[in-house]
Amino acid sequence: MTKGIVGLVIIAALGIGIWYVYAGRQAADQYVANQYASADDLGTYPYVCDNGSTFILSPLEGMAQVQVSADAQGMFTGTATLAQTAGTNYAGAAPDGQAVALLGDGETVHLTVGSEKAICSPKPDPDNAPWNWGDPAAAGPFHS
């Protein structure tokens, strides 16, 4: 009887040890995954512009593209994927065909849709830091 109890204790200890190692490995794998997010998972960032329009910015493909999604509160409606033209300059077209250009400048962006220009700032969010384009760019084609 004593040998049976000792055997059960050893089996239980082995089971707990295996579970502990497995759970720790899962946590470590998740930590690494979070530290090295894929290029398609750089987050989404809400912006509000000086003209009252709003949009959501999503960097894509290691910053080779950005996606700008706007609703009725935006300078256009729908989603535009803009390709990087140089540095923090991006260009593309809105769903309605209007030309869209975006220039990242520190935490702000300069958005041009057709002939309308706006300076846009990240919406305050206590849980997430805003996207930062780096040092404000030298005067580019979309600066005022």
List the structure tokens of 122: 């990240």
Which sequence spans correspond to the domains of the chain?
1-36, 45-122
Q: Quick: pLDDT tens for 3-53.
A: 777 777 777 667 676 756 565 555 545 444 443 344 456 788 999 999 999
Contact 91, 85 (CB under 8 A): yes
Fold (topology level) of 45-122: Lipocalin (2.40.128)
String of DSSP letters for 116-128: EEEEEEEPP-TTS
Q: Quick: pLDDT tens for 62-108.
A: 889 999 999 888 899 999 999 999 989 999 999 999 999 999 999 99
- Tell me which residue of 119, 110, 124 sits closest to 45, measured CA to CA: 124
- Tell me which residue of 125, 109, 38 sits closest to 70, measured CA to CA: 109
pTM > 0.85: no
Phi, psi torsion values for 56, nearest 5 degrees: -115, 130
